[in-house]
Amino acid sequence: MTVLLPVLGLVAVALCALLLFGLGTARVGVLAVVIGVVAAVVPVAVVVATFLWIDRWEPEPGRLLLLSFFWGACIATLTALLINDTAATVGDMLLGSGNGHKISAIVSAPLVEEAVKAVPVLAVFLLRPREFDGVVDGIVYAGFSAAGFAFTENIYYFGRAFAEHGLGDGTSAGVLAAFILRGVLSPFTHPLFTVLTGIGIGVAARSTSRRPRVLAPLGGYLAAISLHALWNAAATIGGATTFLNVYFLIMVPMFIGVLLLVLWQRRREQRIIAAALPAMVRARWIAPSEVELLASLSGRRQWRRQAARESGRRAAAAVAAYQASVTELAFLRRDVATGTADGDPDHRQERLLAALRGARAEAVRLAAGRPEPASSG
């Protein structure tokens, strides 16, 4: 079962990707899809790099981040496409031809898209609580899922712009104009919406009371669909002035507010780790000389670079694993102190200490140039 589930997941993602490719080529053509892919790579690379930067103190498992991205890019996109197209068809039947897309954009899309994009965040929170430490993790998982969704959506929008108007010149309809609007001015719109849900789930992860654990994710989801609906309404039924007002008076301040929250949370994580380091020294888990290096991202980065320069990339990876274990131990001490530790904290501490000592031994071995120990098997 451990092997079967990942395989089934990859098959499902591959089938969804093939189906989306087929739908895209049927609607706009193969060349337009290729142009769309090329244009969509740039904004998604910027968005993903940003969320990796946010996640530097305690990097989440790469496989979970990749799974979140593929969920958003394939399964969430396909689900939303099917439901939104159905809503548009029903809207045309009830309100007259041409009105269904408004219902789809303003009602169906926010409700459905924000729900399916939030699935990876909720899944990690419920199924892998030890990998979910709070608001920053909620932001990161939500951001990756939404980045995948926006990537696939941008492929279609850029491809359709090319099929209908060609490349354009940046001021007229075409790929360049679509790229400026979606890739330059608003690459973070989908992540911004879903991040609100992620913040709510992150608040729930740090709470010991039942009410916030229910109301915080629900409030985040309602905020996400409200902002999403407002954005779509401005683009669908509002004029240029309305759209610009929503963009500059609501979207930009919201983005700045979330950015400030991220910076505050990162600073808070640094304080938690710095406060735990003296106790780790007293417990002989780390050396006194390592405190300054572990207390800042710049110190950690310098340590990894020095290890890579002197002993190679494997030594740098061992140092990174050592640093990650220190971070997790610091967060575990905080969870124990606040009563939010999940499962058996003593067992988890022993596991983390074993990982820390193993990483230290590997880094020392590589630095000394000693051969790898023979396997006992």
User: In this predicted structure, what is the pLDDT of residue 175?
Assistant: 87
User: In this predicted structure, what is the pLDDT of residue 42?
Assistant: 93
The Cα 314–Cα 263 span in angstroms is 31
Q: Which amino acid is at 41?
A: V
User: In this predicted structure, what is the pLDDT of residue 3?
Assistant: 53
User: In this predicted structure, what is the pLDDT of residue 26?
Assistant: 79
User: In this predicted structure, what is the pLDDT of residue 376?
Assistant: 47
Q: What residue spans of 29-118 are helical by DSSP H?
A: 30-54, 62-70, 77-95, 100-103, 109-117
Cβ distance 334 to 276 under 8 Å?
yes
Burial tier of 62 (Cβ tally within 10 Å: 0-12, 13-18, 19+): exposed
The Cα 336–Cα 341 span in angstroms is 5
User: In this predicted structure, what is the pLDDT of residue 352?
Assistant: 93
* pTM given for the model: 0.90
Task: Please name which of 134, 192, 175 lies closest in space to residue 327, comparing C-alpha atoms.
Answer: 134
Non-local (6+) Cβ contacts of 40 within 8 A are: 151, 152, 154, 155, 158, 183
Count of beta carbons in the 10 Å neighbourhood of residue 153: 20
Predicted confidence (pLDDT) per residue in 151-163, tens digit: 999 999 999 898 8
Cβ distance 213 to 207 under 8 Å?
yes
Burial tier of 248 (Cβ tally within 10 Å: 0-12, 13-18, 19+): exposed
Q: b/e map of 342-374 (b: 16 or more CB within 10 Å)?
A: eeeeeebbeebeebbeebbebbebbeeeeeeee
Query: Which regions in the chain score pLDDT beneath 70?
Result: 1-10, 13, 169-172, 370-377
The Cα 157–Cα 25 span in angstroms is 12
User: In this predicted structure, what is the pLDDT of residue 146?
Assistant: 97
Predicted confidence (pLDDT) per residue in 277-317, tens digit: 999 999 999 999 999 999 999 999 999 999 999 999 999 99
